[in-house]
Amino acid sequence: MSLLIKNVRIIDYKTDMCCDLYIEKDQIKDIGNLSYKADEIIDGSDKVLMPSFVDTHVHFRDPGFLYKETLETGSRAALCGGYTSVNLMGNTNPIVDSPGVYEDIICRGKNLNLIDIHSVYAVTKGFDGHTLDHLNDLPESVRFLSDDGKGILSNYTMFHAMNKAKELGVGIMVHAEDPNLSPLDYRIAEDIITLRDIYLAEQTGARLHMSHVSTVDSIDAVRHGKIKGANVTCEVTPHHLSLWDVNYRVNPPIRTKKDVKAVIRGIQDGTVDCIATDHAPHSQEDKAKGAPGMVGLETAFAVCYTNLVKTGRIGLKKLSKLMSKNPADILGIDHGAIEVEKKADLVLVDIEKEYTINKNELMSKSNNTPFDGAKVYGRVEITIYKGEVKYRR
C-alpha cells in the first residue's frame, strides 16, 4: 500500500512547509517535490498535515460499561478526532489492578488494529486508597499508575506509592482531589492534593504527571514544582481552556474565567505539557443522574484550534507539540515529528472552513458534550494509522 499526499502544508512541532509526502507500507518514505506512482493520491491543497494526536487520558469503559463505550467505538471516535494513540484510565469493572485485566485490554486493543492503545495500572488495589501489594506483580509494559476517577487521600499511601513507582521505573498520573473536601469546596479539594503531590514528588524524586489541571493555584503549583526540579508534567483539557461559568457536570468542574486565563498562560509559558481530552462517555440516563464528564476525542482539535490558534494565543506548531510530540514523550512513544522513516501516523485537517459541532454525528457510543452546536474551525478530514487511511470524513 502506498499513498502520495500532494501540495500539503506540513506542520509538526518544529516544521511548517508546503510540499508532497510519500508513504509506503507503514512509513513516511519521502518528503519534497515528488512524483511517485502511488496506490492513492490525496490532494492536500488548502489542508494541513500533522502528526496524529496522542491522548494521555481517556476512558473507554471497557470492560464493564460497554453501553457507554467499548475499545472499538472509542478507537473509532479517536480516529475521527485525529488520534492514533490513547492512554486508557483504569476505572473499569473490573478495575485495571491485575495483570489479567491489563493484558486483556492491551491484547484486544492490538487485535482491533485501529489505534495504539496503552493503559494505566491502578496505584491502589481496587482503588481502595491503601493497598499497594499488587504492584509487586506489575506487567512490564506499564508506564504509569493511576487511580483516576478517585483521589488518593492518605499522605502515607501516596508517599509509599511514589517510592514504589520510582523503584519500579514507572510514573504516577494524579487525579488531584480530596474527596472529603469536594462537597465543601471543589477548588481547595484539587489544589491541596496538587500541592501535596508535587511536594512529595520533590522529596521522593518520583515521576509525576498531573491530570486535568484546572485552577489558577494548581497551575502555579506545577510551575513552581518544575522550577524546584520536581519530575512533574501536566495536562489540561480542551474544556478547561475554553469554558467558564458553564453549568455542565465534569470533574474537575468547569472553573472561572480567571482559571481559564491561568490555564492558557500555563500553555503559553510551557508549564502545561500537553492537552488531554479526559474523554468520559456516559449514557443519557447516567448523565441525567449526575455522572461527571464529557466525550472529547472528536471535538478536541477543533476546540483547541479555535480557542488557542485562531485567537492568536499560540501558533499551530505549538498546538502540534501539545497534542502530539509532548504527550508522546510523556508516554514514551516515538512520535510527533513528520520525518522520513518515521511511522506514518498522520492527520489531515481543514483549518479554513467553519463548521458546527453536532453531537448526533459523533462516532463515540455516547454523545454527552457541552460543545453541541458550537461553531468551530479545524475539522479532521483524514486520519492515517500505520500508513493506512483509517478514517475519512
Binding site for Zn ion (CB under 5 A): 148, 175
Pair 70, 61: CB distance under 8 Å: yes
Q: How many CB atoms lie within 10 A of CB 48?
A: 22
Report, in Å, the least distance between residue 260 CB and Zn ion.
Answer: 19
Cell 502506498, residue? 2
User: How many Å separate Cα 64 from the centre of its chain?
Assistant: 22
Nearer to Zn ion, 175 or 390 (CB): 175
Report, in Å, the least distance between residue 276 CB and Zn ion.
Answer: 10
Report, in Å, the least distance between residue 110 CB and Zn ion.
Answer: 26
Q: Choosing from 278, 286, 329, 350, which is the catalytic residue?
A: 278
Amino acid at 109: G
Q: Are strands 232-236 and 116-119 parallel, antiparallel or unpaired?
A: unpaired
How far is it, in rounded angstroms, from Cα 353 to Cα 355? 6
Nearer to Zn ion, 12 or 69 (CB): 69
Report, in Å, the least distance between residue 179 CB and Zn ion.
Answer: 12
Per-residue b/e over 129-155, b at no fewer than 16 CB within 10 Å? beebebbeebeeebbbbbbbbbbbbee
Active site residue 329: no
Nearer to Zn ion, 26 or 286 (CB): 286
- Cis-peptide, bond into residue 183, ω within 30° of zero: no
Report, in Å, the least distance between residue 91 CB and Zn ion.
Answer: 8
Nearer to Zn ion, 193 or 382 (CB): 193
- Gyration radius from the chain CA atoms: 20
Q: Which residue is nearest to Zn ion (CB)?
A: 175
Show the CA angle centred on residue 313, arms to residues 299 and 302, nearest 5°: 10
Strands (E), 214-291: 232-236, 274-275
How far is it, in rounded angstroms, from Cα 142 to Cα 24? 31
Nearer to Zn ion, 175 or 255 (CB): 175
Residue whose C-alpha is closest to residue 237's, from 211, 266, 269:
211
Report, in Å, the least distance between residue 212 CB and Zn ion.
Answer: 6
Nearer to Zn ion, 20 or 97 (CB): 97
- Residues carrying an active site annotation: 278
